[in-house]
Amino acid sequence: MNQATVGTDTFDEFVERARQFHGYPAPGLLLGGFMVEEAKSHIPEGVLFDAIAETAWCLPDAVQMLTPCTVGNGWLKVLNLGIYAVTLYDKSNGIGVRVAVDEKLLSRWSEMHTWLMKTKPKREQDSVLLRQQIAQAGINVCRITPVNVQTQAVARKGKGRIASCPLCNQPYPLDHGRICRFCQGEAPYDITPNPGSAFDGPADLTVLPVDEAVGQAALHDMTRIDPGVEKGPAFTRGQVLSAGDVCRLQQMGKNHIYVERTTAASEGWVHEDDAARAFALGLSGTGVELMGDIREGKANLVAACDGLLQINTDILEAFNMVSGVMAATRHDGLLVKQGARIGATRAIPLYLPESALGQATRILDDSPVLNVLPLRPAQVGILVTGTEVANGLIEDKFEPVISNKLEALGCTAGGTTVVPDDRSAVCEGIQKFIATGCDLIITTAGLSVDPDDVTRQGLVDAGAEDVLYGAPILPGAMTLLAKIGEVQVLGVPACALFYKTTSLDLLLPRLLAGCELNRRDLARLGHGGMCSECKTCTFPKCPFGK
3-state helix, strand, coil in the chain (%, to 5): 35, 25, 40
* Number of domains within the chain: 5
| 425 secondary structure, DSSP code | H
pLDDT (tens digit per residue) in 205-236: 889 999 999 999 999 989 988 888 888 898 99
Same domain, 33 and 123: yes
Residues 6+ apart with CB under 8 A from 251: none
Q: Does position 264 have pLDDT exceeding 50, yes or no?
A: no
pLDDT (tens digit per residue) in 291-307: 999 999 999 999 999 99
Same domain, 19 and 138: yes
Q: Does position 196 have pLDDT exceeding 60, yes or no?
A: no
Same domain, 367 and 395: no
pLDDT (tens digit per residue) in 464-504: 999 999 999 999 999 999 999 999 999 999 999 999 999 99
Residue 197 forms part of a structural domain: no
Q: Does position 149 have pLDDT exceeding 80, yes or no?
A: yes
Residue 484 contacts residue 475 (beta carbons within 8 Å): no
Residue 254 forms part of a structural domain: yes
* CA neighbours closer than 13 Å in the CB half-sphere of residue 387: 7
Read off the CATH number of the domain in which 490 is found. 3.40.980.10
Q: Does position 153 have pLDDT exceeding 70, yes or no?
A: no
Residue 225 forms part of a structural domain: yes
Q: Does position 348 have pLDDT exceeding 50, yes or no?
A: yes
Q: What is the pLDDT of residue 364?
A: 92
Q: Which of 316, 343, 373 is the last residue of a domain?
A: 373
Rounded percentage of the chain residues whose pLDDT exceeds 70:
96
Residue 209 forms part of a structural domain: yes
Q: Does position 197 have pLDDT exceeding 60, yes or no?
A: no
pLDDT tier for residue 191 given thresholds of 50, 70 and 90: low
Q: Does position 199 have pLDDT exceeding 80, yes or no?
A: no
Q: Does position 193 have pLDDT exceeding 70, yes or no?
A: no
Q: Does position 179 have pLDDT exceeding 90, yes or no?
A: no
Same domain, 21 and 117: yes
- Tell me the CA distances in angstroms from 228 to 185, 222, 298, 345, one per residue in order: 38, 18, 21, 24
Residue 534 forms part of a structural domain: no
Residue 38 forms part of a structural domain: yes
Q: How far apart are CA 184 and CA 501, in angstroms?
A: 37
Nearest to 360 by CA among 94, 167, 175, 150: 167
Dihedrals φ, ψ of 197, to 5°? Answer: -65, -25
Q: How far apart are CA 303 and CA 289, in angstroms?
A: 6
Same domain, 345 and 255: no
Q: Which of 346, 373, 400 is the last residue of a domain?
A: 373
Q: How far apart are CA 136 and CA 38, in angstroms?
A: 15
Q: What is the pLDDT of residue 195?
A: 46
Same domain, 172 and 235: no
Q: What's the mean pLDDT in 420-448? A: 95
Q: Does position 522 have pLDDT exceeding 60, yes or no?
A: yes
Strand partners, 469: 480
Cα-based angle 542, 544, 546 (whole degrees, multiple of 5): 95
Q: What is the pLDDT of residue 190?
A: 63
Same domain, 362 and 412: no
Strand partners, 172: 163
Same domain, 279 and 311: yes
Read off the CATH number of the domain in which 275 is found. 3.90.1170.30
- Compute and round to an integer the Cα radius of gyration of the chain: 34
Same domain, 174 and 220: no
Q: What is the pLDDT of residue 346?
A: 96
Nearest to 340 by CA among 349, 330, 348: 330
pLDDT tier for residue 449 given thresholds of 50, 70 and 90: confident
pLDDT (tens digit per residue) in 53-103: 999 999 999 999 999 999 999 999 999 999 999 999 999 999 999 999 999
- Tell me the CA distances in angstroms from 284 to 255, 329, 343, 348, 493, one per residue in order: 38, 11, 9, 19, 37
Q: Does position 322 have pLDDT exceeding 80, yes or no?
A: yes
Read off the CATH number of the domain in which 40 is found. 3.30.1330.130
| SS3 state at 80 | coil
Q: What is the pLDDT of residue 355?
A: 85
Residue 326 contacts residue 279 (beta carbons within 8 Å): no
Q: How far apart are CA 49 and CA 65, in angstroms?
A: 15
pLDDT tier for residue 186 given thresholds of 50, 70 and 90: confident
Count CB neighbours of 282 within 10 A.
20
Q: What's the mean pLDDT in 48-55? A: 96
Residue 104 forms part of a structural domain: yes
Q: Does position 263 have pLDDT exceeding 60, yes or no?
A: no
Q: How far apart are CA 267 and CA 265, in angstroms?
A: 7
Same domain, 183 and 212: no
Same domain, 432 and 413: yes
Q: E strand or H helix at 522, and its extent? A: helix 519-524
Read off the CATH number of the domain in which 164 is found. 3.30.60.80
Q: Does position 178 have pLDDT exceeding 80, yes or no?
A: no
Same domain, 89 and 215: no
Q: Which domain holds residue 175?
A: 160-192
Q: Does position 245 have pLDDT exceeding 70, yes or no?
A: yes
Q: What is the pLDDT of residue 1?
A: 43
